[in-house]
Amino acid sequence: MTTVAPLHGAGVPATGKPVLEVRDLRVHYDTDVGQVPAVDGASFSLQSGERLALVGESGSGKTTLAMALLRLTRPPGRIVSGEVLLNGQDLLKLDDKEMRGVRLSGIALVQQGAMNSMNPVVRVREQLLDGLYDHGIKLTKVEARERVAQLLTGVGLTPEVADMFPHELSGGMKQRVCIATATSLGPKVIVADEPTSALDVVVQRQVMVTLGRLQAGLHAAVVLVGHDMGLVAQFADTIGVMYAGKLVEVAPVAQIFGRPLHPYTKLLIESLPTLDHKQEKFVGIPGLPPALLDLPPGCVFHPRCPSVMEHCRGLAPGLREEQSRRWVACHLFPGEQVRNA
Amino acid sequence: MSDQIELRGVTKVFGGGLFERDRNVALEGVSLTVATDRPAITAVAGESGSGKTTLARLLLGVIEPTSGQVLYNGKDLRKMSRDERRQFRREVQPIFQDPFEVYNPFYKIDHIFSVPVAKYQMASSKAEARKLVHGALEMVGLRPQETLGRYPHQLSGGQRQRAMVARALLLKPRVILADEPVSMVDASLRATILESVRRLNRELGISVVYITHDLTTAYQISDNIIVLYKGRIAEAGAVEHVIRDPRHPYTQLLVQSIPQPKPDKRWSAYELEAGTAGRAGSTGCKFADRCPSAMQSCWDTVPPLYQREPHRVASCFMYRDVPIMDGNDVATVFRQPARRGPDAAAAAPVSERA
């Protein structure tokens, strides 16, 4: 069965009310040696059907940010301040019971390493129905069977998979079951945290195409967390680049790869190996990401930045709208309009 | 005997003992020669379950083949004397995937350097040992004063991985086996580590076997490549041929599925069929169940290696009109790189150094 799937996002309408709006979100980890600002004032917004990818190195805070959107931050992590508005409703102000109702139906998660996010002693059918029952959906036996079959065929699996245990499934099949679970209540936002990090390239492509098809069908927004620049280039409409807990650039995918503004983004793109021609030399980004406990003053990237200026060392740049739909946090672009001010 | 490490018709079966029902053929009749007198970078690529790590472990002598031989400079690893084995262990060095697991957290980083220096009596004094270690660290772009004297957890993943490269380098090996050396490090460090692996080959004349699932980095750093599928060679040859213009349907599928960091070159919009794998019998081509061009003969017979061009072979019946490669060694189609190593300029054989 070969179907033509809309691989690209539905495109982003220039106007319209965002489905998800994040304002100045801060998540800290409380440790014995002090507070670690894992997410330090992140702001962005998403339209229905838009695919945003958060990229960054390990420790940049991308997963912490994604988990905070679902309020799944666990101690020692703590959401310190900010707003997460889903259709205008601030999720951070809900009580736990209300938040439980919003998860899956409003904002759903596809986890990293599907193998570990399923219960090994429960059949796929029960795992799929669990979320539905928890949201108060009453189904007869026949209806439940039909619903499960429908969910499984929706992700390209046969209905027989329902009777299997997780260990009987391959990695790609497990991830498909997780996608079926995440989309079972038609969420407005799907958070996918490195959904294919343990899969082979062929399976990865299949899983991402399936995720894209379902998301486009639901007209849901996606927040994809990834470190593979190739994968996000294939999938996303918009890229948010994170560095040391901060969003340093947010822009449409073509511009991030074609004409990156932030020096970190630029170096990151340049360090990627390509299939076009053999490179004479591989150039990484000199230096190391800073320890979050001991951030440099001013711009967090200044010790590694090739274009560092004097005031970068003292003054941290905010995320500014440099061009339409392009935000960058860098003193090289001293645009006046401060986003979400 | 020429200087090389060689797999000769190697098959490795796991399990299948008296009381075990599952027999897992990890590698089936693979022959491969890696010359050490003409240092090149050879990539071994494949997905999980392709047998690439088994191949690496066989080459390292960590596991023994079920049938076939692993030879170093013409000598079977199993028949080596103590001294020969000791020399083999020094001259063939591994770099592993996970820069976290290879360290003992109770020892400082210095430990991984001081043990081999002592064991192989590489230095006659402490000062000399220090000089050796510092030299190796600097070669991979680490500052000795920031690395030595620390515990593994005090270093970043990239630093730890580069320290492993430095350790391999310290022993002046002839061959380095790098098993997914960059799959667990971030993009910005990946380039740095790949660059140091390439320098080992170019400047020091060390042969490298680069084992990976990532065809992009394989294309970038290697001269030749073999693509494994379920324990057999699907396609092999010069990397420009195999990756830029793949012939085997499996290699084609792999190359098409690479997520390229180019928004204007997206995957084709066709959704591939999900999970039909698993029907391949043991008699025919292992890829037959996933292959869009499978014919009846694919289910019945294992395709031999067909040689369409001088520098490439593909194990696929689509090319049954071209000659079958003589002999069993895919390395005969490999492209010889220009001479490399410290004395490449003098055109002296690298084997005569030291």
The average pLDDT across A176-188 equals: 93
Q: What pairs with residue B41 in β-bridges? A: B208
Quick check: A13 pLDDT over 80?
no
Yes or no, beta carbons of A273 and B272 under 8 Å apart: no
Report pLDDT for B238.
94
Which of B47, B188, B271 shows the shortest C-beta gap to A213?
B271
Q: Which 3 state secondary structure label does DSSP give A122? A: coil
Q: Which 3 state secondary structure label does DSSP give B308? A: strand
H-run or E-run covering A235: helix A229-235
The C-alpha atoms of residue B175 and residue B90 are separated, in whole angstroms, by 9
For chain A positions 113-172, those within 8 Å of chain B (CB to CB) are 155-157, 170, 172
* Residue B273 in contact with partner chain A when CB distance is under 8 A: yes
**B203/chain A closest Cα distance in angstroms:** 13
Q: List Cα–Cα distances, A79 to A62, A101, A310, B311, in angstroms.
A: 14, 20, 33, 58
- Quick one: CA dihedral A282, A284, A287, A291, positive or negative? negative
| Structure confidence at residue A109 as a pLDDT band (50, 70, 90) | very high
Is A114 exposed, middle or buried, given 0-12, 13-18 or 19+ CB atoms closer than 10 A?
buried
The C-alpha atoms of residue A153 and residue B69 are separated, in whole angstroms, by 48
Side by side, the strands of the sheet bearing A326-328 are A107-110, A189-193, A221-226, A51-55, A238-243, A246-252, A326-328, A320-323
Report pLDDT for A143.
93
Q: What pairs with residue B306 in β-bridges? A: B314, B324
| Structure confidence at residue B280 as a pLDDT band (50, 70, 90) | low
Quick check: B353 pLDDT over 50?
no
Quick check: A293 pLDDT over 90?
no
Nearest C-alpha in B relative to A155: B274
Report pLDDT for B272.
53
Rg (CA), chain A: 21
Residue ranges of alpha helices (H) inside A94-222 are 96-102, 124-134, 141-154, 171-182, 201-218
The C-alpha atoms of residue B282 and residue B69 are separated, in whole angstroms, by 23
The C-alpha atoms of residue B117 and residue B128 are separated, in whole angstroms, by 10
The C-alpha atoms of residue B221 and residue A281 are separated, in whole angstroms, by 10
For strand A221-226 and strand B75-76, is the pairing parallel, antiparallel, or unpaired?
A: unpaired
Least confident of A18-27, A153-162, B152-161: B152-161
**A227/chain B closest Cα distance in angstroms:** 7
Quick check: B346 pLDDT over 60?
no
Is A222 exposed, middle or buried, given 0-12, 13-18 or 19+ CB atoms closer than 10 A?
buried
Nearest C-alpha in B relative to A270: B188
The average pLDDT across A39-65 equals: 91
* Residue A175 in contact with partner chain B when CB distance is under 8 A: no
**B347/chain A closest Cα distance in angstroms:** 22
* Residue A1 in contact with partner chain B when CB distance is under 8 A: yes
The C-alpha atoms of residue A96 and residue A301 are separated, in whole angstroms, by 37
Residue ranges and CATH numbers for the domains of chain A are: 20-236 (3.40.50.300), 250-328 (no CATH)
* Residue A51 in contact with partner chain B when CB distance is under 8 A: no
Q: Tokens 């022959």: give the residue.
A: B31
B-chain residues near A205 (CB < 8 A): 257, 259, 267, 272
Report pLDDT for A31.
86
| Structure confidence at residue A233 as a pLDDT band (50, 70, 90) | very high
Quick check: B150 pLDDT over 80?
yes
* Residue B253 in contact with partner chain A when CB distance is under 8 A: yes
For strand B232-238 and strand B224-229, is the pairing parallel, antiparallel, or unpaired?
A: antiparallel
Yes or no, beta carbons of A257 and B261 under 8 Å apart: yes
Report pLDDT for B344.
62
Tens digits of residue pLDDT in A58-94: 888 999 999 999 999 988 899 999 999 999 999 999 9
Which of B220, B254, B266 shows the shortest C-beta gap to A202?
B254
Yes or no, beta carbons of B263 and A257 under 8 Å apart: yes
Quick check: B184 pLDDT over 50?
yes
Yes or no, beta carbons of B192 and A284 under 8 Å apart: yes
For chain B positions 218-237, those within 8 Å of chain A (CB to CB) are 219-220
Yes or no, beta carbons of A275 and B269 under 8 Å apart: no
Q: Which 3 state secondary structure label does DSSP give B186? A: coil
A-chain residues near B213 (CB < 8 A): 200-201
Nearest C-alpha in A relative to B47: A200
Separation of CA A39 from chain center:
14
Bond from prior residue into A76 cis (ω within 30 degrees of 0): yes
Respond yes or no on whether ipTM tops 0.90.
Answer: no
Which of B159, B213, B264 shows the shortest C-beta gap to A200?
B213
Quick check: A14 pLDDT over 70?
no
What whole-number percentage of chain A has pLDDT above 90?
63
Side by side, the strands of the sheet bearing A34-46 are A34-46, A20-31, A77-86, A89-90
Yes or no, beta carbons of A7 and B266 under 8 Å apart: yes
The C-alpha atoms of residue A53 and residue A121 are separated, in whole angstroms, by 33
Q: What pairs with residue B208 in β-bridges? A: B41, B176
The average pLDDT across A179-205 equals: 90
* Residues A183 and A190 sit within 8 Å (Cβ to Cβ): yes
Q: What pairs with residue A55 in β-bridges? A: A226, A241
With vertex at residue B320, the alpha carbon angle to CA B316 and CA B325, rounded to the nearest 5 degrees, is 80
B-chain residues near A282 (CB < 8 A): 190-192, 194-195, 198, 220
* Residue B274 in contact with partner chain A when CB distance is under 8 A: yes
With vertex at residue A29, the alpha carbon angle to CA A27 and CA A34, rounded to the nearest 5 degrees, is 125
Yes or no, beta carbons of B216 and A275 under 8 Å apart: yes
Quick check: B143 pLDDT over 90?
no
| Structure confidence at residue B200 as a pLDDT band (50, 70, 90) | confident
Report pLDDT for B327.
67
Least confident of A76-80, A149-153, A333-337, B67-71: A333-337
Residues 6+ apart with CB under 8 A from B125: none
* Residue B318 in contact with partner chain A when CB distance is under 8 A: no
Which of A172, A176, A233 shows the shortest C-beta gap to B261?
A233
> Which pair of structure tokens corresponds to residue B325?
């490669």
* Residues B92 and B31 sit within 8 Å (Cβ to Cβ): no
Q: What pairs with residue A27 in β-bridges? A: A39, A79
Give which of A223, A238, A226 is closest to A11, Cα–Cα.
A238
| Structure confidence at residue A115 as a pLDDT band (50, 70, 90) | low
Report pLDDT for B335.
87
Q: What are the DSSP E strand ranges found in A244-281? A: 246-252
The C-alpha atoms of residue A304 and residue A271 are separated, in whole angstroms, by 14
Report pLDDT for B1.
53
| Mean pLDDT over the full length of chain B | 85
> Which pair of structure tokens corresponds to residue B136?
């190796």
For chain A positions 271-330, those within 8 Å of chain B (CB to CB) are 271-275, 278-279, 281-285, 288-289
**A135/chain B closest Cα distance in angstroms:** 30
B-chain residues near A268 (CB < 8 A): 187-188
Give which of A172, A307, A331 is closest to A248, Cα–Cα.
A331
Report pLDDT for A297.
92
Tens digits of residue pLDDT in A127-151: 999 999 999 889 999 999 999 999 9
> Which pair of structure tokens corresponds to residue A163?
């009777």
A-chain residues near B257 (CB < 8 A): 201-202, 204-205
A-chain residues near B98 (CB < 8 A): none
With vertex at residue A168, the alpha carbon angle to CA A162 and CA A172, rounded to the nearest 5 degrees, is 85
* Residues B285 and B291 sit within 8 Å (Cβ to Cβ): yes
Report pLDDT for B224.
95
| Mean pLDDT over the full length of chain A | 88
Nearest C-alpha in A relative to B278: A170
* Residues B271 and A5 sit within 8 Å (Cβ to Cβ): yes
Report pLDDT for B161.
86
The average pLDDT across A173-188 equals: 92
Which of A172, A257, A271 shows the shortest C-beta gap to B188?
A271
With vertex at residue B272, the alpha carbon angle to CA B271 and CA B274, rounded to the nearest 5 degrees, is 115
> Which pair of structure tokens corresponds to residue A117?
């996010």
- Quick one: CA dihedral A230, A236, A239, A241, positive or negative? negative
C-alpha dihedral, B234 to B44 to B222 to B181, nearest 10° = 150
* Residue A239 in contact with partner chain B when CB distance is under 8 A: no
Yes or no, beta carbons of A2 and B270 under 8 Å apart: yes
The average pLDDT across B67-84 equals: 92
Tens digits of residue pLDDT in A247-289: 999 999 999 999 999 999 999 998 888 888 888 888 888 877 8
Nearest C-alpha in A relative to B274: A156
Which of B189, B255, B261 shows the shortest C-beta gap to A284?
B189
The C-alpha atoms of residue B226 and residue B218 are separated, in whole angstroms, by 10
C-alpha dihedral, A96 to A102 to A108 to A112, nearest 10° = 0
H-run or E-run covering B53: helix B52-60
Answer left, alpha or beta for residue B310, where phi above 0 means left and psi between -120 and 50 means alpha. alpha
The average pLDDT across A5-17 equals: 51
> Which pair of structure tokens corresponds to residue B84?
């020969």
Report pLDDT for A79.
94
Report pLDDT for A283.
84
B-chain residues near A6 (CB < 8 A): 269
Which of B195, B215, B262 shows the shortest C-beta gap to A281?
B195
Please tell me which residue, A182 or B102, carries the higher pLDDT value. Answer: A182
* Residues B4 and B39 sit within 8 Å (Cβ to Cβ): no
Give which of B192, B219, B233, B175 is closest to B351, Cα–Cα.
B175
